[in-house]
Structure 1
């Protein structure tokens, strides 16, 4: 579907295909409102046209795009049987495609028109792909601590990625733990299952809240996590992504 991306390259990205028309329209409108530049590529060619979204008409099932300043390039785009598009939104790569593109006039200026794409793909590098976890009824990680510190203790998560988690240590039970490894930790992912893994603390951040209380946020990396456990994490991230996109579409 997207010929200018190699499979080996895509393996390093978290990909999420969106099929909800409402979500697709909301995302395309957001791209247009933020004036994000879009790379438009004819399938099988290396010629790239930089464009932007001028309008998204949900009723007419159309997306209006700006033309190139190069008339020959515009003609090649108009004659293409298939085009692919790439842009970014909030550091996430967005990919979509069109079977054909039609030259039109939009508000007195030359423009292109395509149909609203039936699917759209969001890509983000796995190591940077973090999803905030719910603040109400938070996901928790149970870390085995010595008996003098209370034994097995649960901490709320702030976010989760394929590489690890950020947890909140409100009572400073873990101390200055950068570099320390906690084996046998358990994360209960709602509707997915329990993940067991060792966690190594990679960074620490103390935050002062509005009530002057201090909250400590610890960034932890999964160490020695099994592939089956990582699959649970990926499924949970996808679940959070679907819920977030549904909220975006609801507001769009």
Structure 2
């Protein structure tokens, strides 16, 4: 058995906010990041399409030597993860694993909210899947969950407009919408890994008592815990402190945006699926 990098997949750039935290908390491991930018965004696509695209990318990462793949994408986690885990892994390789970002986030939300009223901000696909309410209620049945789809937020980030004045209109609109659903919401979950780049602007429209929860650090700590509890998987993950980036779209565009996300120069490789 050859050791391999930990695979990190996202439909575009959002998963880089998770990868950045992986490198902080688990810097010793090798990572292989795949952004399916050519087919992004996934948020408005059907369940079947997201499942097929995600499965293709997972198989690619497996073929590149990854034994463990993290779907650092809420839409893929919501629409494809369970099907891949239940239907495909045994046929591909029963020893490989695919994990998502929704469960780690929902596991800790009860320790954040005092009022037990929680808001979820996500893509249309994530919200329509109802994954967050379902997972939260498994751990905290008493928590009331309110959701808001923000279809323009990912395009703002993908097109490098997240810091521009045009972003304010769409951010204010959806914050007003979600908070109007309950005056007791004290916690808002950024249910998309793209959204941390909008966090500063989002914070401007939030009351001081509302906490904003990003996923990167939560998922990174969950991965660390997973590897500790599964030494057989930890033994399969190579440790060289390297990170390789693949994109299905233009490498120059990917590198420019990824360098902002990662706060360092990124040089990616183009692949065709």
Structure number, greater radius of gyration: 1
| TM class, shorter-length | under 0.3
Q: Going by fraction, where is strand more abundant, 1 or 2? A: 1
TM-score (ref. length: structure 1): 0.26
TM-score (ref. length: structure 2): 0.25
Greater length-normalized contact order (CA 8 Å, ≥ 6 residues apart): 2
Q: Going by fraction, where is helix more abundant, 1 or 2? A: 2
